[in-house]
Amino acid sequence: MPLKHFAEKRRMTPASREKHTHLVGLRNKLPVPSFDKLLRIVDTAIDELVDAKAGGKIGLVYTKTGFLLGHQASAPHKDIEYVWNKVSTTLINKPPGLVWTPLEERHVMKTIGALVMWRMSVRDEDWLCNFKEVDRIDIVTGDEIKIAEYWINTKST
């Protein structure tokens, strides 16, 4: 089932998510084995989240990119570091830990977010997605930054 945008009630298909500018740029620059490893790490993080929450009374799973791939995520630290290192060194030629410009940070964050959104959209479950404003201004567009939040009811799958 495709990912559904909650507020606009539109489907976000895997084909449309896969064409995201940041994701295409990453795919074009990375060797296939490295890109495939990124996909496996993201897919595993999502699988583990769903499996951990599926047995609960409510069955409602909530997540966002930071919960899956942030530095306090439950995924193995080496996997999280691999994602951040691979994306940042590939796109901006700087590993995490060095000072990133706001534009570099934006590029890395949008790419990792696009990667998670695409992997959500290829799953069999019917996920809902909402974009929440976070009280920060995008340095390129001047718009308020929005992060994607995802929900699934594991009792209905």
Taking only the tens of pLDDT, the chain with its 157 residues reads: 455 555 555 566 788 888 888 899 999 999 999 999 999 999 999 998 888 776 666 677 888 898 999 888 888 999 999 999 999 999 999 888 788 888 898 899 999 999 999 998 888 888 888 888 888 888 888 999 888 888 887 665 4
- At 13 the pLDDT is 76
Residue 57: both structure tokens together: 């009374």
- At 1 the pLDDT is 46
- Among 151, 30, 156, which residue's Cα sits nearest to residue 88? 30
**CA 77/CA 71 separation, integer angstroms:** 7
Say whether 50 sits in a helix, a strand or coil: helix
- At 129 the pLDDT is 85
Confidence (pTM): 0.85
Residues 96, 2 contacting (CB under 8 angstroms): no
Say whether 152 sits in a helix, a strand or coil: strand
